[in-house]
Structure 1
Amino acid sequence: MTAALVEKKDARTPGPSRGSSAPPPSSPRRATRERAFDDVPRWQIYVPLGVYLLFTLVPFYWMFLFAVRPAGSTSLVPWPMTGAHFSKVWNERSFAVFFQNSMIVGVATLIATTLVALAGGYALARFDFKIKGAFMLALLCSQFIPGALMLVPLFEIFKNLQMINSLGSVVIAETVFQLPLSIILISGFIKNVPVSLEEAAWVDGCSRFKAFCAVVLPLLRPGLIAVGSFAFVHSWNHFLFALMFLSEQDKQTIPVGLNTLIGADSVDLGALAAGGVIAAVPVVIVFAFIQKWLITGFSAGAVKG
């Protein structure tokens, strides 16, 4: 009788027991997608990816070729290689100064954008106020305004503040134009953090700020890295604000410095390509180190926490 009861109970509760480590079954839709992907021939995947990769990398190879190829050479293979173009732009064309200025602007914009976006995003995610919807709409609409339309008003403002030809003017302008999207992204990341975690910290005696630093902030690391990296890259590559607000050569950034290599009658292609390689190296290094966090930051706002 006991054996019969056990068999009857097992028949009522099929599948792994509560303590079993067997993985849960996949959803029918996911299983269908996986089967469809397995049925696709591999060449239909790798050939388009290879064409896209070739289309993307050829301009970079061409730039690198001109940067390391001796002047007057027409070889399609970077051999023999020379560093004369890099030495020329770094020492004779003041690229060391341009690189330093761009680094200052990029790091300062990263810090300012991240801190302000963190405060604004937390306010939008955790507090309710009457104009919250209108404020979010204004942030979204501000993304449709080209930066060129704001050059004259910004120039007049910085002129009255005596900030023309100062790196601070570029940092402020870059931060202001990066903030709307950064605030929206950070608010989405914070919404995925359960409020109950903060409430538990409040019960333990933490203030709101201390609870935020101890509980919420560590969970926002992927989002902060994503927002900060884009702020850095945008300010590093942006040409318009630096050209408008910086007139002295010792205050100019790399994009403006590259523009000075293009003359009215001729272009030094070797020096221009070497300057482009110097400008691209920091961005490549940044994305190489933060790739994992960047992908996590992109996906963090797409799922419910």
Structure 2
Amino acid sequence: MMTTQTTGRTLDRPALPEPVRLPRRRHRRRSAQRVARWQIYVPLGLYLLFTLVPFYWMLVFAVRPRGSDSLLPWPITLENFDTVWNGLGFGIFFQNSLMVGVASLIATTVIALSGGYALARYNFRGRQLFMIAMLCTQFIPGAMMLIPLFEIFRTLGLVNTLWSLVIAETVFQLPLSLILISGFIRNIPMELEEAAWVDGCSRLRGFFAVVLPMLRPALVAVGSFAFIHSWNNFLFALMFVSEQEKFTVPVGLAYTLGEFSVDFGALAAGGVVAALPVVLVFAVIQRYLVQGMSAGAVKG
């Protein structure tokens, strides 16, 4: 049996190769991120500047004194808002627009919810043709329907009433609302409703207990679009309503323009009053709006 003997001297070990230095990818990555941020922030900043400058000028004209040409609104005055709200009757216009917007929101949401559920859960003959017809109605301008709608409202005795605006707004908002809600309901698994039926729920009770709570983003998106469209609509309110006490905010803004002169301060103050509810609505519902639009646009 062979044995190895150790001596007092140390064995020479071969030198280890030096570690290979990799290129500085971290620095390159940081520079790439900086370039990417620059490419994103600069276009967004320009777009934001282009969008906010008109609003800034409107606010400046609304709060600066008459005859002033300062770029900064100082000293601030609320005289123009008092003229618009009390002198021109914008309080009544604001109330009329709010009534029409809320009524259109409720009617559009309820009808679209029932119709969207039927389109999503029931298979019937002509369903695809009906969906195509709903899409085709979006290509029809509202101005082409003014004379037929006016004749219908005149026959029903609804001319010069706010109900004519509610009906017209609801009819024009329903096609898109039906498509959005039906697409959202298709993404909700049918097994959830079937489980509720097994537990003893009827179809209606299962809808309210299972489906309706999951439709909050879609309902917010549909309702907000219906409200904002009815709030900003000028054509229907101009054609179907003739009495001043029934004007809405867009028509009231148009009547601030005189024949030979324009009160820019009052016009700007009215624009601020008209834009404030829309801005508040978008600020509250923005997180639901994107979710509802994206979910309703995907086919389940």
Shorter-chain TM-score bucket reads 0.7 to 0.9
Rounded to whole Å, the distance in 1 between the matches of 2:210 and 2:235 is 40
Equivalence for 1:273 = 268
Establish whether residue 243 from structure 1 lines up as the match of residue 238 from structure 2. yes
Indicate conservation of the 8 Å contact 2:164/2:240, yes or no: yes
Equivalence for 2:292 = 297
Rounded to whole Å, the distance in 2 between the matches of 1:239 and 1:274 is 18
Establish whether residue 89 from structure 1 lines up as the match of residue 84 from structure 2. yes
Q: CA deviation at 1:39?
A: 7.1
Match of 2:52 among 48, 53, 57: 57
Q: CA deviation at 1:301?
A: 2.9
Equivalence for 1:165 = 160
Rounded to whole Å, the distance in 2 between the matches of 1:209 and 1:221 is 17
Rounded to whole Å, the distance in 2 between the matches of 1:40 and 1:219 is 41
Equivalence for 2:41 = 46
Establish whether residue 255 from structure 1 lines up as the match of residue 253 from structure 2. no
Amino acid at match of 2:292: G
Match of 1:145 among 140, 145, 158: 140
Amino acid at match of 1:109: S
Amino acid at match of 2:254: N
Equivalence for 2:14 = none
1:245 to 1:302, Cα distance in 2 relative to 1, 3 A = closer
1:36 to 1:212, Cα distance in 2 relative to 1, 3 A = farther
Q: CA deviation at 1:37?
A: 7.9
Q: CA RMSD in A?
A: 1.7
Equivalence for 2:195 = 200
Cα deviation digits, residues 174-230 of structure 1 (max 9, x gap): 000000000000000000000000011111111111100000000000010001000
1:192 to 1:100, Cα distance in 2 relative to 1, 3 A = same
Indicate conservation of the 8 Å contact 2:80/2:266, yes or no: yes
Rounded to whole Å, the distance in 2 between the matches of 1:94 and 1:237 is 18
Amino acid at match of 1:284: V
Q: CA deviation at 1:280?
A: 0.5
Establish whether residue 74 from structure 1 lines up as the match of residue 84 from structure 2. no
Which of structures 1 and 2 has the bigger CA Rg? Answer: 2
Equivalence for 2:282 = 287
Establish whether residue 121 from structure 1 lines up as the match of residue 113 from structure 2. no
Rounded to whole Å, the distance in 2 between the matches of 1:59 and 1:99 is 22
Amino acid at match of 2:154: K
Question: Which stretches in structure 2 are left out of the alignment for 5+ residues?
Answer: 1-28
Q: CA deviation at 1:36?
A: 12
Indicate conservation of the 8 Å contact 2:183/2:299, yes or no: no
Question: Which stretches in structure 1 are left out of the alignment for 5+ residues?
Answer: 1-33
Equivalence for 1:17 = none
Q: CA deviation at 1:43?
A: 1.6
1:244 to 1:303, Cα distance in 2 relative to 1, 3 A = closer
Establish whether residue 106 from structure 1 lines up as the match of residue 101 from structure 2. yes
Cα deviation digits, residues 17-75 of structure 1 (max 9, x gap): xxxxxxxxxxxxxxxxx999847432221111110000000000010010001111100
Amino acid at match of 1:106: G
Q: CA deviation at 1:304?
A: 6.6
Rounded to whole Å, the distance in 2 between the matches of 1:94 and 1:235 is 20
Q: CA deviation at 1:153?
A: 0.6
With structure 2 as the length reference, what TM-score do the two structures score?
0.88
What is the 5 A alignment of 1:178-257? 178-257=173-252
Q: Residue 301 of structure 1: SS of its match in structure 2?
A: helix
Q: Residue 205 of structure 1: SS of its match in structure 2?
A: coil
